[in-house]
């Protein structure tokens, strides 16, 4: 049942992305408003689908939060992205940035619904039966989502500053570089905080489950690499006063590390975090 | 020779390099790079592995650079140590300045020239406008300092001044976490025990060590259980343990996955389990029409009667796919590789034929579980946890406590009214600053009415 609802949400996100793009290209503010409304509507449905899946798992007698395998992580990743975008950066979610976020949310859901990814609700293995599961997964994915937004802003910044015309014509759908620069900083600040929380909750959990709060498992190590890159970015900006292009490039590199932490480690590097495959 | 190269100056230069943010940035990125290598190269393998996998030249290089054990290698620890020194030196160099800034009373000359943000006019009225303005400012800006200067009244406010301490708290937590890791590395250890149900052990096997570590008590496994969901997948592994000292049980508890058991400064984690025999294993071995009963030990190669064939029991199961007790056997008859197959106590009709010429049936086998426990001591854990906890207020102060400086001037205006000028800045948190400014504006404009 929740799968049908998710199918609908996927279509809504796609439509939102499309309308935001068209609205940005042809300067149609009303279309943009419509698309933004669709995004919120889609997110409502998305939340409902997650809750419904949770209830379904209880009906099967194995009740647990829908955060336990690769399929559920994709669904939740998409949800976190739209959540952060709508709740924290609502004013910035327009035109190309909005289209980018809606596209990402759509792609994640579409990928999840492809064949080959097991969407069954299965019982939790003993290692995952812990109160730390929810808080660890939620903080980690909120950090991924915030970093994805930062990546989007960084991309737009790089495109924006590469354009030959220095002065924007009226109604330019790209926000001014200074605003994008600030957005990169704000998203990464939130992402960094969430990632830190994610690593800490993971460490406390690992101490109980694996016997060590840090065991250089590939997922742990890659989250540390990501953390170090963003820590360097924040220091470069706050202490050395870096701005603009260099920060945007670091934000892109940081997000590549995020992608590898999420997907690369799961599929390429064997380790303790092998719940996803 | 310039004065720059005198030893004192050189030392000073070193010192300032050691505490520079530049070094911190380089160290952060180097540590990221080193960690990356550690995830790409297989870790903790033997010398021969790297030689065969990467060739004699590259394999040797990897070995000698310590790339097979990146996270324990001297240069990685040196990088961490350098980061530790950099953090401590950098923070302690800046801290006095910051403390002064946090404690310093607000000085007019530093606030007067903040960027002008807003101007509001209050009309003339018989009462003194100052108490009204003060209460309004206190509500929006918090504590304020009044500073009269001639006809002008200045109201100064520094919001979120504790925020300056955030980075120091974060750095302190990182130092605690790294120290905790080092303490655990030096004074902690990790061992392993495998205990069969009913048995007790009084020593730990340490990985990579020949001798085991004695305990001043013994651990007895009373019972091991696999609890399942309705569909049969495992839900919980648990070991019921007793701790015995001088023949007396002094503590009893359960170690589960995700719920380790603590005793005597050690932590016992449920790590693995296996089935072991609880008595002799008896087989019937038939060759043609001749059948002989035979007792076969576990995991030991034995010759069959006649001498030309031999068997070894590799593994036993309490319940093999619902068919009852079973054992996995290696059977070698003549040259060539041994055949490996399951011998089940109650074989089903369609059970695959054994290769022969010997045929085996399982006559008697009683089993019990053995539980594998990881045993650990880590005195550094509380240091790291202290760091974890301190990180939270540190982050809160550093990132979510907007620092804002405000200076509001009240001046008599020409037609007998008052002019209120608002200056302020909130460099790193412009959105929060803007929100407060809007609030202040609406309050001041409301306050203008009689």
List the structure tokens of A90. 């609502």
pLDDT in tens, B424-442: 988 777 778 888 999 988 8
- Comparing CA positions, the residue from B79, B95, B84 lying closest to residue B167 is B95
Res B1 pLDDT > 50? no
CB contact under 8 A, A126 and B234: yes
Q: Are B192 and B219 spatial neighbours (Cβ–Cβ below 8 Å)?
A: no
CB contact under 8 A, A212 and B43: no
- Alpha-carbon distance B130 to B297, whole Å? 98
Q: Highest-confidence range of A88-92, A200-204, B54-58, B117-121, by mean pLDDT?
A: A200-204
pLDDT in tens, B271-285: 999 999 888 888 888
- Percentage of chain A lying above the pLDDT 90 cut: 64
Distances (CA, A) of B24 to A17, A87, A218, B27, B174: 41, 34, 24, 5, 13
User: Please, which residues 320-359 of chain B have a Cβ atom closer than 8 Å to chain A?
Assistant: none
Task: Spell B264-278 as b/e; 16+ CB within 10 A means b.
Answer: eebbbbbbebebbbb
State how far residue A174 is from chain B, nearest Cα, in angstroms.
19
pLDDT class of A206 with cuts at 50, 70, 90: very high
Nearest CA in chain B to A222: B36
- Comparing CA positions, the residue from A48, A51, A45 lying closest to residue A11 is A45
List the structure tokens of A121. 């609700």
Distances (CA, A) of B55 to B47, B60, B244, B252: 11, 8, 52, 53
pLDDT in tens, A5-63: 999 999 999 999 999 999 988 888 899 999 999 999 999 999 999 999 999 999 888 88
Q: Are A194 and B400 spatial neighbours (Cβ–Cβ below 8 Å)?
A: no
Distances (CA, A) of B299 to B201, B296, B351: 21, 9, 24
Q: Find the length of chain B.
A: 450
pLDDT in tens, A225-275: 999 999 999 999 888 888 889 999 999 999 999 999 999 888 887 777 766
Residues 6+ apart with CB under 8 A from A76: A50, A66, A67, A137, A138, A141
Query: Nearest Cβ partner of B430 from A182, A192, A196?
Result: A182
Q: What is the pLDDT of residue A169?
A: 52
Res B189 pLDDT > 80? yes
pLDDT in tens, B212-270: 899 999 999 999 999 988 888 889 999 999 999 988 999 999 999 999 999 989 999 99
Res A161 pLDDT > 70? yes
Q: Are A62 and A69 spatial neighbours (Cβ–Cβ below 8 Å)?
A: no
Q: How large is the average pLDDT for residues B111-129?
A: 83
Distances (CA, A) of B355 to B288, B332, B352, B445: 13, 10, 9, 98
| DSSP code for B429 | -
In what order do the strands lie in the sheet containing B234-245? Answer: B200-204, B213-228, B234-245, B248-256
State how far residue B365 is from chain A, nearest Cα, in angstroms.
29
Q: What is the pLDDT of residue B450?
A: 41
Q: How large is the average pLDDT for residues B197-224?
A: 90
User: Please, which residues 391-410 of chain B have a Cβ atom closer than 8 Å to chain A?
Assistant: 391, 395, 399-400
Res B96 pLDDT > 50? yes
- Percentage of chain B lying above the pLDDT 90 cut: 34
Q: Are B323 and B347 spatial neighbours (Cβ–Cβ below 8 Å)?
A: yes
Q: How large is the average pLDDT for residues A125-153?
A: 94
User: Which of the pair, B162 or B351, is modelled with greater confidence?
Assistant: B162
- Comparing CA positions, the residue from B319, B301, B302 lying closest to residue B366 is B319
Q: Are B310 and B302 spatial neighbours (Cβ–Cβ below 8 Å)?
A: yes
Res A168 pLDDT > 60? no
Structural domain boundaries in chain A? 1-124, 130-277
User: Please, which residues 252-271 of chain A have a Cβ atom closer than 8 Å to chain B?
Assistant: 265, 269
Q: How large is the average pLDDT for residues B150-164?
A: 87
Query: Nearest Cβ partner of A235 from B25, B400, B428?
Result: B25
Domains and CATH numbers, chain B: 3-77 (no CATH), 105-160+402-447 (3.30.160.110), 186-273+371-389 (no CATH), 281-367 (no CATH)
ipTM: 0.89
pLDDT in tens, B348-389: 777 777 877 888 888 888 889 999 999 999 999 999 999 999
CB contact under 8 A, A126 and B381: no
Q: What is the pLDDT of residue A173?
A: 65
Res A155 pLDDT > 80? yes
Q: Residue A66 CA to chain centroid, in angstroms?
A: 17
Residues 6+ apart with CB under 8 A from B130: B153, B410
pLDDT in tens, B288-334: 788 888 888 888 888 887 777 888 999 998 888 778 889 998 988 87
Q: Residue B294 CA to chain centroid, in angstroms?
A: 53
Q: The whole model's pTM is what?
A: 0.88
- Alpha-carbon distance A112 to A104, whole Å? 12
């Amino acid at each position: 049942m929740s799968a049908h609802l998710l199918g609908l949400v996927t279509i809504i996100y796609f439509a939102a992305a499309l309308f935001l793009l068209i609205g940005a290209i042809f300067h149609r503010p009303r279309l943009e408003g419509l698309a933004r409304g669709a995004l919120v509507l889609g997110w409502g449905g998305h939340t409902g689908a997650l809750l419904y899946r949770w209830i379904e798992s209880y009906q099967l007698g194995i009740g647990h939060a829908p955060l336990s395998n690769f399929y559920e992580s994709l669904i939740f990743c998409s949800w976190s992205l739209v959540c952060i975008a709508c709740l924290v950066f609502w004013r910035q979610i327009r035109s190309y940035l909005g289209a980018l976020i809606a596209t990402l949310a759509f792609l994640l859901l579409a990928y999840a619904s492809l064949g080959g990814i097991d969407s069954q609700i299965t019982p939790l293995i003993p290692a995952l039966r812990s109160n730390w599961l929810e808080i660890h997964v939620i903080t980690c994915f909120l950090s991924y989502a915030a970093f994805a937004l930062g990546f989007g802003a960084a991309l737009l910044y790089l495109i924006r500053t590469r354009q030959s015309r220095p002065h924007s014509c009226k109604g330019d759908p790209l926000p001014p570089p200074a605003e994008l620069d600030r957005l990169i900083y704000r998203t990464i600040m939130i992402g960094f905080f969430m990632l830190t929380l994610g690593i800490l909750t993971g460490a406390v959990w690992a101490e109980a489950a694996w016997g060590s709060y840090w065991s250089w498992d590939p997922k742990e190590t890659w989250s540390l690499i990501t953390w170090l890159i963003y820590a360097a970015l924040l220091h470069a900006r706050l202490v050395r006063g870096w701005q603009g292009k260099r920060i945007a490039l670091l934000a892109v590199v940081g997000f590549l590390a995020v992608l590898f932490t999420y997907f690369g480690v799961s599929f390429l590097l064997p380790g303790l975090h092998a719940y996803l495959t | 020779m310039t004065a720059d190269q005198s030893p004192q100056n050189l030392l000073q230069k070193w010192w300032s390099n050691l505490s520079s943010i530049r070094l911190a940035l380089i160290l952060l990125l180097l540590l990221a790079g080193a960690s990356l290598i550690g995830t790409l190269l297989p870790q903790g393998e033997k010398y021969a592995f790297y030689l065969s996998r990467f060739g004699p030249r590259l394999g040797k290089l990897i070995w000698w650079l310590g790339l097979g054990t990146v996270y324990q290698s001297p240069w990685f620890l040196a990088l961490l140590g350098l980061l530790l020194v950099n953090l401590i030196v950098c923070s302690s160099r800046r801290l006095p300045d910051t403390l002064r800034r946090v404690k310093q009373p607000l000085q007019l000359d530093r606030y007067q020239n903040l960027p002008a943000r807003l101007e509001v006019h209050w009309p003339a009225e018989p009462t003194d406008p100052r108490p009204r303005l003060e209460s309004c400012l206190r509500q929006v800006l918090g504590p304020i300092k009044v500073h009269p200067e001639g006809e002008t009244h200045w109201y100064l406010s520094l919001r979120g001044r504790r925020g300056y301490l955030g980075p120091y708290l974060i750095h302190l937590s990182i130092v605690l976490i790294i120290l905790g890791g080092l303490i655990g590395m030096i004074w902690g250890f990790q061992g392993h025990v495998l205990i069969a149900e009913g048995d007790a052990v009084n020593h730990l096997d340490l990985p990579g060590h020949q001798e085991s570590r004695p305990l001043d008590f013994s651990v007895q496994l009373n019972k091991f259980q696999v609890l399942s969901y309705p569909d049969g997948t495992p839900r919980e592994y648990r070991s019921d343990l007793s701790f015995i000292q001088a023949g007396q049980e002094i503590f009893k508890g359960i170690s589960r996955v995700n719920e380790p058991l603590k005793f005597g400064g050690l932590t016992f984690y449920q790590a693995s389990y296996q089935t072991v025999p609880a008595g002799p294993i008896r087989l019937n071995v038939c060759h043609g029409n001749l059948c002989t009963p035979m007792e076969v030990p576990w995991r030991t190669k034995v010759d069959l009667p006649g001498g030309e064939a031999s068997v070894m029991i590799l593994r036993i199961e309490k319940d093999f796919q619902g068919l009852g007790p079973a054992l996995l056997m290696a059977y070698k008859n003549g040259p060539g590789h041994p055949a490996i197959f399951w011998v089940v106590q109650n074989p089903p009709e369609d059970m695959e034929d054994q290769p022969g010429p010997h045929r085996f049936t399982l006559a008697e086998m009683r089993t019990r579980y053995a539980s594998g426990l990881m045993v650990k001591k880590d005195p550094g854990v509380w240091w790291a946890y202290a760091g974890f906890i301190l990180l939270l207020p540190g982050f809160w102060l550093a990132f979510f406590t907007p620092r804002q400086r405000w200076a509001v001037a009240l001046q008599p205006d020409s037609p007998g009214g008052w002019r209120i000028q608002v200056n302020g800045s909130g460099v790193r948190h412009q959105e929060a600053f803007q929100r407060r400014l809007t609030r202040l504006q609406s309050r001041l404009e409301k306050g203008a009415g009689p």
